[in-house]
Amino acid sequence: MVQLIDSLATTAPLAELFSDESLLQAMLDFEAALARAEARLGIVPASAAEAIHAAARASNFDAAALARETLRGGTPGIPLSKALTAKVRAANRDAARYVHWGATSQDVADTGLILVLKRAQAIFAGDLARLDAALLRLSEKYRDTIMLGRTLLQPAPPVTFGLKAAGWLAAVRRSRTRLDESFTDGLILQFGGASGTLAALGDKGLEVGRAIAAELDLGFPDAPWHAHRDRLGGVVVACGVLTGVLGKMARDISLLAQGEVAEAAEPEGDGRGGSSTMPQKRNPIASAITLAAANRVPGLVAAFLSGMPQEHERGVGGWQAEWATVAGAIQSTGLAIASMAEAAEDLEIDAEKMREDIAATGGTVFAEKAYMLLAAKLGRDAAHKLVGEAARRSEAEGRTLVEVLGEMPELARVVSSRALRDLETPEKYLGVAEELRKRLLANDDRRTSKKGKR
């Protein structure tokens, strides 16, 4: 269940994922896998592993009580192992001595978090697939839809909406690749015992670790990473980059949806985008939520990175700060992905309004084209001065750039009337826009080794 205070910061699936029951079960899954692995290797009795596995159910424990005791102990692993031991003892006194055998409290907490992140990756993948498909459809459908380019928020030579959508998609794909790679690096078991040497298990430590990793379907690192948070940091940083990419898309959509522009609109319905007092409003809510996430996540990334210099074999303070930071970053990123997928799936594009907005500039957005045409004949300085004067007159007199240029004798001597007529034809000043669009879509960024393809 999403709490009211988190209603603009997470989705229902991610709120459930980071719920007390989910986190508790993930930590208990570690304890059960530890017991099963040790039983297979003859370290603890099989009956003990069975009893521990049977007791390791989140419904058997009081999460609120564990939270209170975690605040006293500085780690959830301590109260959890005590509570699990008591639960096992009630069913099998002999088995209770083998609970948490050879592990340490941070092993429980870190691996529990990693198991939750593994589930988050699957949630991300579903919404990223939706977003990818929607942006691909938009790019293909509107590949010939011409619109104003906008630089520094000012009208500029035309582009196509298909190219714009392809740019969004390519950035999302690059970011997804980085995120997947970070998950590959980061979804690993934490198992080191008290000082990270697994000394309590003698020479069986690595065997037990490999067996636990296999039980939980996690990677097995070369050594425990209690005070080395770089791989987990990679996941958080990748979330920051992806959320920034989605924020750029949201910014573009929200600007195109402004009433004065009205070239695009987010889908409406089911209370989406309305106003409490202005019935005419159609607010870009998916973009607003995504931009909120893009504002929030960089601070969480910074918070994680600032806690990375951790002391010796086990840190004090840095590690304890991470749960809330990572949870916030993951949930905000997931919300941004889901929001942009929703927006893209039914984004409305007004191609006619896009053409009208080009025409409304009076052709001044083609000043570059006129300048390039004249520079070859008159020289750069003379051409720049001539076209600049024509553009200023066009805006001041409410006439088109072509009309003003056509009256200039300097231009009549070097430019044909046909070239002048073609000056304001958007289709004839798109450069290689379509080729670029196709290149963006063709390269889905599977980390090709060819230089310059990223």
Rg, the chain, Cα only: 30
Residue 16 contacts residue 22 (beta carbons within 8 Å): yes
Measured CA to CA, the distance from residue 179 to residue 124 in angstroms comes to 10
Among candidate residues 7, 47, 275, 306, the one labeled active-site is 275
Measured CA to CA, the distance from residue 66 to residue 284 in angstroms comes to 41
The residue type at 276: S
Name the DSSP class of 228: -
Helices (H), 187-284: 205-216, 230-256
Among candidate residues 137, 314, 355, 393, the one labeled active-site is 314
Backbone angles phi, psi at 277, to 5 degrees: -130, -15
For the record, the structure tokens of 18 come out as 């980071």
Residue that has been written with the tokens 């031991």 in this structure = 85
Measured CA to CA, the distance from residue 258 to residue 85 in angstroms comes to 60
Active site (annotated) includes residue 314: yes
Distances (CA, A) of 255 to 87, 185, 197, 252, 373: 57, 37, 56, 5, 32
* Helices first, then strands: H and E counts in the chain: 19, 4
Half-sphere exposure of 51 (CA within 13 A, CB side): 22
Residue that has been written with the tokens 């920051």 in this structure = 240
Using a 10 angstrom Cβ sphere, with 0-12 exposed, 13-18 middle and 19 or more buried, the burial of residue 155 is middle
Residue that has been written with the tokens 């930590």 in this structure = 27
Active site (annotated) includes residue 275: yes
What residues are labeled active site? 275, 314
